[in-house]
Amino acid sequence: MHRDDLILISVDDHIIEPPDMFVNHLPERYRADAPQLVHRDDGSDVWKFRDTVIPNAALNAVAGRPKEEYGLEPQGLDEIRPGCYDVHERVKDMDAGGILASMNFPSFPGFSARLFATEDPDFSLALVRAYNDWHIDEWCAAHPGRFIPMALPAIWDPRLCADEVRRVAGKGCHSLTFTENPAVLGYPSFHSDHWDPLWRALCDTGTVLNVHIGSSGRLAVPAVDSPPDVMITLQPMNIVSAAADLLWSRVLKEFPAIRIALSEGGTGWIPYFLERVDRTFEMHATWTLQDFGGRLPSEVFREHFLTCFISDPLGVRLRHDIGIDNICWEADYPHSDSMWPGAPEELSAVLDANDVPDDDVRKMTHENAMRWYSFDPFAHVPREEATVGALRARAAGHDVSVQSRSHRVIAPSEKLAAYRSRALAAVKASS
């Protein structure tokens, strides 16, 4: 398939939340205590919620910037592309990148919204609902057909979380972000019956549970003094643990309609993983008492798990070992792994190199995403206007040039020192 004829739906992108997001959705009695975006003397903008300060780390928003500006230092909104936090500019960037639709994960609240779990459950729930209403009713609704809505969980209470899943499903939202390891956050594990109300609500509403890499906050670093390359290389590894945890748990057996996305986890590891779980079952089921109703674990995996990739040449080549109906594409805008605005070129090169037939291309680039997330962009955007070529033609003149945006030059040695300090603090906090 020619690059310009591709239709691209990304199931993993990110929002840098704008400062006014709570204004229209949080009850007035809570507004004074709501998270606030604070501009600091060093030029950075940070979210402050009570005693917690969440910086906007540079790696989270580097779309359209030179690699010399990658790093973990805090930055201001004026140092990043407006498309990171302005929905109208985001759609222009999507058009210029040839992307029809996008599902956007949160930034400052964290993937599981643990930040909002206060001592006041009413306030906590109000924060989650306000975020979800802003995301669905303002961000996504501003451009119908361009965004797959995603909700935050009320992670501290599975019944409230289930209620919120049902509430947002009534708004057309069938995606919930969640942690890949609740036990790390101090909650019961996936093997507990604690989460049963949530599993039931997900099944009843056809909502996908999205476990994003790094969503437990656990650093995949073997030593504090290791270089950041180790952490970046190992980022997908926690998602492998989550896949094993959920596959072998009672959840899939007792809630057979549940569907789980391994967000930003890549695909190249999955064929080996499936071989390994089948081997484990063959060799050990007699004493571990695992029972998949006459099926192999790999077959059950393909019924319940969605995977995604940015380019992953190996995963594309082994797509049928993974399951062609279980693969989606992602852009990861505006993170450092993203190839925006040249993602169609990179993806097309991988597809062509592996002689992927058009039927497989359509499934991986948009059809699987539409089916898994109950999302129909063509109800709003005619198919002929949804291709890479048509979207880019509409974006003619939109500036996508690489531009330096940082206020100050930070030496690599200073960036590495900041990384090691942050890694040490994270290790100490978890010990």
Work out the average pLDDT over 346-352: 98
Residue 196, sorted as left (phi over 0), alpha (psi -120 to 50) or beta, turns out to be: alpha
Which of 107, 170, 106, 162 lies closest to 137, judged by CA? 170
**What pLDDT is attached to residue 43?**
87
**What pLDDT is attached to residue 234?**
79
Work out the average pLDDT over 416-420: 70
Work out the average pLDDT over 339-362: 97
The predicted-structure confidence for 44-73, as pLDDT tens digits, reads as follows 899 999 999 998 776 688 899 888 888 767
Work out the average pLDDT over 121-135: 98
- Residue 328 sits at φ, ψ, to 5 deg, of -125, 165
381 pLDDT exceeds 60?
yes
Work out the average pLDDT over 357-367: 98
Work out the average pLDDT over 195-199: 98
**What pLDDT is attached to residue 222?**
53
pTM (predicted TM-score): 0.94
Q: Is 377 exposed, middle or buried (0-12, 13-18, 19+ CB in 10 A)?
A: buried
Residue listed under structure tokens 């499934």: 363
**DSSP one-letter code for 94:** H
Work out the average pLDDT over 269-297: 96
What confidence category does residue 218 fall into, taking pLDDT thresholds of 50, 70 and 90? low
Residue listed under structure tokens 């930055």: 75
**What pLDDT is attached to residue 70?**
84
219 pLDDT exceeds 80?
no
- CATH number at 282 reads 3.20.20.140
Q: Which domain holds residue 70?
A: 3-430
431 pLDDT exceeds 70?
no
What confidence category does residue 378 fall into, taking pLDDT thresholds of 50, 70 and 90? very high
Q: Please give the angle made by the CA atoms of 20, 25 and 30, to the nearest 5 degrees.
A: 90
The predicted-structure confidence for 224-265, as pLDDT tens digits, reads as follows 677 878 877 877 777 999 999 999 999 999 999 999 999 999
294 pLDDT exceeds 80?
yes
Share of the chain above pLDDT 90, in %: 79
State the total domains in the chain. 1
E-assigned strand segments in 203-281 = 208-212, 260-263
Which of 233, 45, 23, 216 lies closest to 131, judged by CA? 23
Does 99 or 60 have the greater pLDDT score?
A: 99
